[in-house]
Structure 1
Amino acid sequence: MKSLLAVLFLCLTVSTAAAGEPSYGAPPADLAEHLERLKRAYPGVIADYDKAKLTLKSGVTIPMSDGRRDKSFDELLDDPDVDDMFAIPYPAHTKPKAPGVNVDPGRVRVEALFRALYGDCRKGEAALRMRRVPWFGGSVLITTRQGVDRALEATARDLAKLPKPMMKYLAPSAGTYNCRAIAGTQRLSMHAYGASIDLNTEFADYWRWRKPGKDGKIAWTNRMPMEIVEIFERHGFIWGGRWYHYDTMHFEYRPELLAR
């Protein structure tokens, strides 16, 4: 059954059309496996999927693809379908390096799905399911939905085993829950769902803090130790340092993008 779905899903493609932008090509041949991982990651919300749609347990359906093959990078972010979320593979557990232009694995998010997973903070829904999680001398506010709070607690336990000099990267946290849009966009931040954490800004690098070069490209830079990244990824969090539009203090809960 999975092999048949993989063939069917291979027909659903996404690419960028603007000159100079990379081509994202078709969704991966193993898209069915990605979707199965998505279903396993959020079993209380996702009921099933087929080549046309994702079906939630609420009865709501989300289109798998609009069939467009000419999306620009901005359109990929602003108007994605479910299959678009897997168009750029996330390179988990690999040595950090400068990504290609507009290679931002994990930044493509279908907002209807994430509102179903965590609630809409603009309607007060997300804020109803938060709790304080201890965080290196303080605490942070994290959602209890989808087990994010438990995942962050497990992450903290493993981080606490690292050598003492690495503690400076972890605290104070620059923020967790915040009902806001992503800077410069109308898209809800993962912070609006209480499903992400920013580490100490003193040791962070962020693409908006750095001017592009003469060629218009963003120079990637990072000071976050790989030991910290590896622990977060082990517990289901992806890292903003793996993006061309990098945000090295940022980690968000996205277990569907991490092989298990």
Structure 2
Amino acid sequence: MKRFCFFLLIFQIVFSQEIPQNVQKLLQVFPKQIIGYKENKIIFSDNSTLIYDDFKKKNNQELIENPDIEDQFRFVYKKANWNSIPTVDSGRIRNEAFFKKVYGNSKSDVASKLVEIIWCPKLVNQKIKITTVNGVNEIFKKLSAELDQHPEFVEYIQNIGGTFNWRKISGTNRLSTHSFGITLDINSKKSNYWQWDCKCTDENTQLIYRNQIPLKLVQIFEKYGFIWGGNWKHYDTMHFEYRPELLN
């Protein structure tokens, strides 16, 4: 028995060394969609694969426009902190092919996996559509239930700007994560967005960071696995998307 446990321990150590740490996070977060990793490829449940690391050196624009899966982890997401202004776009780098494999390859494919829930029944009572993939809809319900206990936030969490909406990000050819039913925009009247403030879409524009969202509200979202767009250099303070792999 001791010998078996010893070999099991060795196997686990070797296995963990062979699989990059961030791939292990993906395997943990998407157990039904991702079934393995081999030879620098993520293996999905339909046995298709995507390259994990293309080993290309990229500038910030290239990271946004043409990232591989490994690039999604390029910048560590640090939880919201009012003592510093964000200088990187941690979480804003997304490999579109990866999200399509996980949540759906087309508008109809994603839509077939959506359910309607009531957002904050007591304070807001607004219907929104959320994906059922990996139980994301249940996470939204838990988040909604906690926010429903905070009437001080009602002016921020009412008039939801959008959840599911198969569309491209303004000024780009990249799909928004709203396309996958994992994202929620809170009240835009209490929010700031870099493109609105600079009246441009140029990623290289010098920005003056602006935000109106309370830290405690952001912390509740982060508690349930959501990253915040206000934590980006190119800020979008109304924007919250479910990305637990970046918070582990």
TM superposition score normalised by structure 1: 0.82
More helix by share: 2
Matched letter for residue 101 of structure 2: A
Aligned pairs for 1:131-142 within 5 A: 131-135=115-119, 136-142=124-130
1:219 equivalent to 2:208? Answer yes
Question: 2:83, 2:227 → 1: CA distance?
Answer: 12
The alpha-carbon distance between structure 1 residues 151 and 81, as it changes in their structure 2 partners (threshold 3 A), is: same
Quote how far apart the aligned CAs of 1:88 are.
0.6
Contact 1:121–1:193 under 8 Å retained in 2: no
Question: 1:152, 1:181 → 2: CA distance?
Answer: 23
Quote how far apart the aligned CAs of 1:95 are.
4.0
The alpha-carbon distance between structure 1 residues 96 and 229, as it changes in their structure 2 partners (threshold 3 A), is: farther
1:105 equivalent to 2:118? Answer no
Question: 1:120, 1:191 → 2: CA distance?
Answer: 13
1:84 equivalent to 2:84? Answer no
Deviating above 3 A after TM superposition, structure 1's stretches of 4 or more consecutive aligned residues are 2-6, 93-97
1:61 equivalent to 2:41? Answer no
Question: 1:91, 1:36 → 2: CA distance?
Answer: 19
Contact 1:96–1:242 under 8 Å retained in 2: no
**Unpaired stretches in structure 1, ≥5 consecutive residues:** 7-31
Provide the aligned length of Structure 1 versus Structure 2. Answer: 227
Quote how far apart the aligned CAs of 1:216 are.
4.0
**Unpaired stretches in structure 2, ≥5 consecutive residues:** 1-13
Match of 1:255 among 228, 244, 248: 244
**SS at the partner of 2:67?**
coil
**SS at the partner of 1:142?**
strand
Aligned pairs for 1:196-207 within 5 A: 196-207=183-194
Quote how far apart the aligned CAs of 1:185 are.
0.9
Question: 1:126, 1:216 → 2: CA distance?
Answer: 34
Matched letter for residue 17 of structure 2: L
Match of 1:155 among 143, 147, 152: 143
The alpha-carbon distance between structure 1 residues 203 and 158, as it changes in their structure 2 partners (threshold 3 A), is: same
1:127 equivalent to 2:115? Answer no
Question: 2:205, 2:109 → 1: CA distance?
Answer: 40
Matched letter for residue 231 of structure 2: R
Match of 1:229 among 218, 242, 247: 218
Contact 1:99–1:244 under 8 Å retained in 2: yes
The alpha-carbon distance between structure 1 residues 139 and 66, as it changes in their structure 2 partners (threshold 3 A), is: same
Deviations 1:76-97 (A, max 9, x none): 1121111101111100254463
**Aligned alpha-carbon RMSD (Å):** 1.8
The alpha-carbon distance between structure 1 residues 193 and 133, as it changes in their structure 2 partners (threshold 3 A), is: same
**SS at the partner of 2:245?**
helix
Matched letter for residue 134 of structure 1: I
Which residue pairs with 2:9 in the alignment? none
Which residue pairs with 2:31 in the alignment? 43
The alpha-carbon distance between structure 1 residues 148 and 96, as it changes in their structure 2 partners (threshold 3 A), is: farther
Matched letter for residue 187 of structure 1: R
The alpha-carbon distance between structure 1 residues 232 and 96, as it changes in their structure 2 partners (threshold 3 A), is: farther
1:72 equivalent to 2:59? Answer yes
